[in-house]
Structure 1
């Protein structure tokens, strides 16, 4: 793997994990030191991320993590719900029994995180749950597109969990998804996933989420 690709993946993961948030500046010098390279592969990686829409240029200030306005955010979430639904239907049809049991294990162990109201632990468990489905769909291109969309919306999704209090509801929806997958019911699994990814969960949920979005995360 080229070093520029390793840098790109590392920055993308930092965005997904919330180490880098919308509006944060990208420090080229720090990245070059971190990977022990010149700035050339760093800039190659940043240009790739800009093309993906994850970074944006700032006049005389290098690049920063891209911010979205509300319309862009809702459009991406709408697309992500459709893609996650397709992924889940395919995974339900194609997953091995071992993968289904791995999904069940992740869900079972996440119960303690929900009871402890451990938002950070839940986010990791949620990522692991979805990652099993991404591999289970047996379509690496769909997986890569979903990971990219999740990276772009990661900060907003974390805010949704913490500000609107969706951890327990999300866990319960995972349970419904798991039941459909263990029952080998791809159409029900598809519907459950689209409901799960839907941001709104009713107009009040959507309003609460939008009202509580930090101004620094939203593009003017």
Structure 2
């Protein structure tokens, strides 16, 4: 893997994990030092991420993590919902028995985290459950695009859990998706994932989510 690709992947992972938030400045010198690289591969990585709309160039600041307005966020989420559902359908059709057992174990481990009301732990458990489906879909291009959309919306997605109170309900929805996959019911897995990712849930659903978005993350 080229050094510029490693740097690009590192930045994308940090955005997805919330280490880098919308509006944060990218420290090019720190990246060059960390990866023992010249300025050229660092700039290549940043230009690639700018082309993906994950970074934006700001006067006197350099590259910063791109912010979105509510309209942009909902447009991306609308696409993400459909892609996640297709991924669940394909995984249902293509996962091996061993992969289905692994998914069941990930789900069981997630219940312990939900019982402990561990929000940070749940984010990791939730990613593990969904990534098992991405891999099980046997479509690396679909997985790559979902992960990029997840990276762009990561900071906003994290507020969905607190705004909508979805830890236990998400775990229950995972259980239904797991059941559909174990029974190889692809149509049901698709429908359940559409419901799972949709914001139209909870007491006030979408309204609560938007109201709870920090203004610091949004374009004015």
User: TM-score scaled to structure 1, two decimals?
Assistant: 0.98
Alignment deviations for residues 31-58 of structure 1 (CA, whole Å, 9 cap, x no partner): 1111111111111100000101111111
Task: Give me the whole-angstrom Cα distance separating, in 2, the residues matched to 1:189 and 1:174.
Answer: 10
SS in 1 for 2:46: helix
Task: Give me the whole-angstrom Cα distance separating, in 1, the residues matched to 2:31 and 2:162.
Answer: 30
Tell me what 1:58 maps to: 58
SS in 2 for 1:101: helix
Structure 1 unmatched ranges of 5 or more: none
- Deviation of residue 60 (structure 1)? 2.0
Task: Give me the whole-angstrom Cα distance separating, in 2, the residues matched to 1:62 and 1:166.
Answer: 37
Task: Give me the whole-angstrom Cα distance separating, in 2, the residues matched to 1:166 and 1:51.
Answer: 33
- Deviation of residue 202 (structure 1)? 5.7
Q: Is the 8 A contact 2:165 2:202 kept in 1?
A: no
SS in 2 for 1:176: helix
SS in 2 for 1:104: helix
Is 1:14 equivalent to 2:14 in the alignment? yes
Tell me what 1:79 maps to: 79
Tell me what 1:182 maps to: 182
User: TM-score scaled to structure 2, two decimals?
Assistant: 0.98
Tell me what 1:128 maps to: 128
Alignment deviations for residues 149-189 of structure 1 (CA, whole Å, 9 cap, x no partner): 01111111111112332111111110110010011100000
Tell me what 2:93 maps to: 93
Aligned residue pair count? 220
SS in 2 for 1:25: coil
Q: Is the alpha carbon distance of 1:163 and 1:203 closer, same or farther for their aligned partners in structure 2, counting shifts above 3 Å?
A: closer
- Deviation of residue 80 (structure 1)? 0.4
Tell me what 2:49 maps to: 49
Deviant stretches of 4+, over 4 Å: none
RMSD, aligned CA = 1.0
Structure 2 unmatched ranges of 5 or more: none
Alignment deviations for residues 174-207 of structure 1 (CA, whole Å, 9 cap, x no partner): 0110010011100000000011110221681111
